[in-house]
Chain A
Amino acid sequence: MDIARTEVTKARGAPEAAAGAARRKGAALRGALLALPVVFFALFFAYPVAAIVARGLHVDGVWRLEQVGEVLGDSGIRHVLWFTFWQALASTALTLLIALPGAYVFARFDFRGKQILRAVVTVPFVLPTVVVGTAFLALVGRGGLLDELWGVRLDTTVWAILLAHVFFNYAVVVRTVGGLWAQLDPRQEEAARVLGASRFAAWRQVTLPALAPAVGAAALMVFLFTFTSFGVVQILGGPTFATLEVEIYRQTSEIFDLGTAAVLTIVQFVAVGAILAVHAGTVRRRESALRLVAPETTARRPRGRGQWALLGGVLVSIAVLLVLPLAVLVQRSFGTPGGAGLGYYKALTRDDSGIFLVAPIAAIGNSLQYAVVATGIAVAVGSLAAVALTRRDAGWLVRGFDALLMLPLGVSAVTVGFGFLIALDEPPLDLRSSWILVPLAQALVGVPFVVRTMLPVLRAVDGRLREAAAVLGASPWRVWREVDLPIVRRALLVAAGFAFAVSLGEFGATVFIARPDNPTLPVAVARLLGRPGDLNYGQAMALSTILMVVCAVALLVLERLRTDRTGEF
């Protein structure tokens, strides 16, 4: 596109020819930068998904597109679609309602243990649902806290699903909205008040407009995650509630009706595509110039009864909704029949169960290894994409690719997994039984996080700095090393850390491809839960606790590194 345009300019005068050459060089460079991300995305996402969808709709050499009408005409399917939509809407509203005060508190207040708490609220987001769904039941289910206090049981009601969605997505709001909020200069609001505006008016006219796009972006991300919710709905919803994602799983994995699954995959694809398109729009608006200040300067200790009450309220909601389910997990991991003890942890080192061919404890090493490789891939692919997307002359095609890279977050793992099986089955790409498949699948989920973390920081680097350095005689490598790297290094580490944590917790795709001799932590937990017996259950809880601690430590290290908070996650 850009290249065609430069062809025309070539014939003109010398300065224009130089500009044209520069632009052409820019386009070529962007092409080079995007090559790896495009190949990665095409090979490990688009191709497998297209293959499995085609397998469902293309039967005996004939395209059976009339299936689309048949499936969508089915009242059961329409019910699923309707439930998927409204529960996502309700989950998003509830998450915003509960998490926005949290975002404010994290942004504006300084209090002891804030960093640890910020890591803690993010732990649920990177934990596999198979682990916490079980613990969450202990909160809202029979004999749970609500039951004991007020005799309220929410298991197999839609409330359990909604609350669990708040649990999982709280961090999305706190990080996206709170991150920006912390950097808004409070003096702007103060100035409005000095000029006579009421407190509410000042907030509405100064802070809200600045914040609105971030709230919109967070809401859309939560909507995306809850729209495609799988484990939560399966574990807490019982057989009567099914989202589109659950139905795709059922049709593919149990009923083996690939045609119906293909139609549903396309429907989900279209819906997720629409969400992402709107999201891309809000993100762009959000990047409109805001005067940002360092977050350390905006937070202070709460003052007055109202602020302390707000802080207290937020802490209580975090304690009840987020910390308690995690605590239940820990408590169960120590609750051996002979009283509290380390029995289940000790049992993890034995390899005589026959389930894995290795001791369950080995899953920790496997998980860490996979996560390291997945992080390497995600950072390589994601940072290249982010650098290409930073360039201001990026066309809509490139911006579209930004949204495209998010798609794996919204496409069902079973579709990707089955796609891998039938698409990547011939040399040189017969990866079906190769261990690299696990980190590849995990990286697919990690890339969007890398891109979203890197992009705002890269965009904030002043191009004039690079030009100045170049004018002063620095080589391109030196410019990168001395200008970009110091600014980007932290973002790169943060992105890597997040990709690492997400890879550790990834379950959906991993469970499809993990081999028995090297299960990951979430897979090992799921397999232990799949067997009767006290020891299996206890070991599952102990492994879950270990996973939780590893994730929390990774996130805590991130908190120490993180300075710029405009990133989305």
Chain B
Amino acid sequence: MSITRQVTAVAVGLGLVTLAACGSSDDGTSSGSSKTVTLVSHDSWAVSKGVLAAFEKQSGYTVKVLKDGDAGQAVNKAILTKDNPQGDVFFGVDNTLLSRALDNGLFQSYEAKGADAILPAYRTDEDKHRVTPIDTGDICVNYDKAWFSEHKLTPPESFDDLIKPAYKDLLVTENASTSSPGLGFLLGSAAKYGDDGWAGYWTKLKANGVKVVDGWEQAYNEEFSGSAGGKKAKADRPLVVSYASSPPAEVIFADPKPATAPTGVATGTCFRQVEYAGLLSNAGNSEGGKALLDFLVGKTFQEDMPLNMFVYPVREGAKVPAEFTEFGPQAKDPETMDPAKIAEHRDQWVKSWTSLVLK
């Protein structure tokens, strides 16, 4: 019967070899020198290599990036691990989730150098400086230009337009309880029609045939006739809740690049999102974290950001790439909402919205 012991020996050996292999080649450990600074973010984080390398060279820090799921997930994970955080700086909590992060004590105070150059409209928490605004983007209805010209119909412009009979059965949006553009669109309608009016608006929108799918990927790639995926899937919804920066992305990520964007933005349907970064409480390398925050609001990063993450800078005078202004004009007067108000109502609104629209 001691054959089996041989098996044990072989297998345990295998296991040890495996573990040893991990030990030896594990380069980036969290309990590292203070020369490494770790940025925790969501999946959409992106930066040009050269820009990050320049920061590393100038500051002497090595930046390690940890992408931790979609926006909501990344925030939740950061809160769960706040006593023993995975990194030093968290980037990517937006105004819809800001209160969850602040109430849970996710961040410590630090006023980034250069924060005074941030446009006043985006500043928040100015007495405590727990978060720093980094970028902004608008959640807006996008339309398929070809579809509308083919059907000789003017694309909608505003929230009010969307409930008109001419646009019946054309819009697809996302589940407000599982998708951040879906939630943004709901908040936009609440900002526009008020605490008492938004439910009535959605009743009309539902009667006008709005379709709800679970996530942005399905809405944009499968249902929206203007996207690359949608064209292949013979999608039949020419209106989708997406971002103001989606049309430029359709140009930039095309080969060959078209002369003009295949999609446009209904500028009167926008809700403004602001994304913040902060120094994590209990950060192992708070000096490095501070330097990283300074870098995030600095001009170089702010100007590099748009084409990587498809958002707008918050810094005054930061240049916006030509593709943005050419293919996707920024909304002139987007809906906004105070994070405190969002915190107060979000859960109740989402609940009411779910029973109103999905049931």
CB closest residue in chain B, given A383 = B11
Residues of B near A515 (CB, < 8 A) are 65-67
Nearest residue in B to A461 (C-beta to C-beta)?
A: B3
Most chain-B Cβ atoms within 10 A of its Cβ — which of A55, A138, A240, A534? A534
CB–CB B31/A377 < 8 A: no
Q: Does A355 contact B (CB under 8 A)?
A: yes
A535: chain B residues within 8 A (beta carbon): 228, 253-255
A 475-495 binary contact with B (CB < 8 Å = 1; else 0):
011011001100000000000
Q: Is the CB of B234 within 8 A of A143?
A: yes
Contact with A along B31-62 (1 / 0, CB 8 A): 10000001000011111110000000000000
Chain B residue with Cβ nearest A374: B18
Do residues B212 and A238 form an inter-chain contact, with CB atoms below 8 A?
Answer: yes
Which residue in chain A gives the minimum CB-CB distance to B308?
Answer: A354
* A15 interface contact, C-beta 8 A: no
Q: Does B334 contact A (CB under 8 A)?
A: no
A244-266 interface mask toward B, CB cutoff 8 Å, 1 = contact, 0 = none? 00000010111110000000000
Inter-chain contacts of B44 with A (CB < 8 A) = 530
- Bitwise, B183-222 to A at CB < 8 A (1) or not (0) is 0000000000000000000000000000011111110111
Interface residues in B53-97 (C-beta closer than 8 Å to A): 64-67, 69-70, 72-73, 76-77, 79-81, 84, 86
Name the residue of chain B whose CB is nearest to the CB of A351: B49
Determine if A425 is an interface residue (Cβ-Cβ < 8 Å). Answer: yes
Query: How far is it, in angstroms, between the C-alpha of A425 and the C-alpha of B310 when the chains are bound?
Result: 33
In the bound assembly, the distance between CA atoms of A533 and B14 in angstroms comes to: 45
Q: Which residues of B are found within 8 Å of A337, using beta-carbon distances?
A: 254-256
Q: Given that A357-B65, A418-B80, A430-B31 are contacting pairs, would A530 and B47 also be in contact in the complex, using a CB cutoff of 8 Å?
A: no
Q: Indicate whether A9 reaches chain B with its CB closer than 8 angstroms.
A: no
Interface locus among B21-29, B110-118, B151-159, B287-295: B21-29
- Is the pair A430, B30 in contact by a Cβ cutoff of 8 Å? yes
A255:B177 contact, CB within 8 angstroms: yes
- Which candidate, A24-32, A196-204, A546-554, is the interface stretch facing chain B? A24-32
Residue from the list B26, B80, B234, B243 in contact with A421, Cβ < 8 A: B80
When each residue 364-393 of chain A gets 1 if its CB lies under 8 Å from chain B and 0 otherwise, what string results?
Answer: 000000000100110111011001100100
Contact check, A254 vs B8: say whether CB atoms are below 8 A apart.
no
CB pair B14 A379 closer than 8 Å: yes
Chain A residues in 8 Å Cβ range of B254: 337, 533-535
Cβ-closest chain B residue relative to A515: B66
Determine whether B2 belongs to the interface, using a CB cutoff of 8 Å to chain A. Answer: yes
Q: Taking the nearest CB of chain B, how far is it from the CB of A432, in angstroms?
A: 6
A residues in contact with B227, CB < 8 Å: 532, 537
Instruction: Name the distance in Å between B356's Cβ and chain A's nearest Cβ.
Output: 13
Q: How far is the CA of A371 from the CA of B160 in the complex (A)?
A: 52
Interface size on A, residues (CB 8 A): 84
Contacts known (A138-B233, A379-B14, A532-B250); A32 close to B66, Cβ less than 8 A: no
Main SS of chain A's interface residues? helix
Q: How many inter-chain contacts with C-beta < 8 Å in the A-B complex? A: 214
| Interface presence of B320 (CB below 8 A) | no
Q: A347 near B49 (CB under 8 angstroms)?
A: no
Q: Mark A528-545, 1 if CB is under 8 A from B, else 0.
A: 011111111110000000
Q: How far is the CA of A1 from the CA of B235 in the complex (A)?
A: 64
Whether B67 lies near A137 (C-beta < 8 A) is no
Q: Determine whether the beta carbon of A384 is less than 8 Å from that of B11.
A: yes
How far apart are B218's CB and chain A's nearest CB, in angstroms?
Answer: 6
Nearest CB of chain B from residue A223's CB, rounded to whole Å: 24
- Are B22 and A435 in contact (CB-based, < 8 A)? yes
B14 and chain A: residue at smallest CB distance? A380
Q: Which of A22, A380, A435, A534 is close to B15, meaning CB atoms less than 8 Å apart?
A: A380
Q: Chain B nearest CB: distance from A371 CB in Å?
A: 13
Decide yes or no whether A192 CB sits under 8 A from chain B: no
B residues less than 8 Å from A252 (CB atoms): 76
Interface residue? B339 (CB, 8 A):
no
From A239, A387, A484, A517, give the contact of B212 (CB < 8 A): A239
Q: Determine whether B352 belongs to the interface, using a CB cutoff of 8 Å to chain A.
A: no
Contacts of A377 in B (CB 8 A): 15, 18
14 A–B contact pairs at CB < 8 A?
A29-B4, A235-B218, A250-B178, A254-B177, A256-B79, A354-B48, A373-B21, A383-B7, A421-B80, A421-B81, A422-B80, A483-B3, A537-B227, A537-B232
Q: Give me the interface of A with B, judged by CB distance under 8 Å.
A: 22, 25-26, 29, 32-33, 36, 55, 134, 137-138, 141-143, 156, 234-235, 237-240, 250, 252-256, 332, 335-338, 343, 347, 353-355, 357, 373, 376-377, 379-381, 383-384, 387-388, 391, 418, 421-422, 425-427, 430, 432-436, 466, 476-477, 479-480, 483-484, 511-512, 515-517, 527, 529-538
Q: Which A-B residue pairs are the 6 nearest by beta carbons?
A: A533-B253, A143-B234, A534-B228, A354-B46, A239-B175, A480-B3
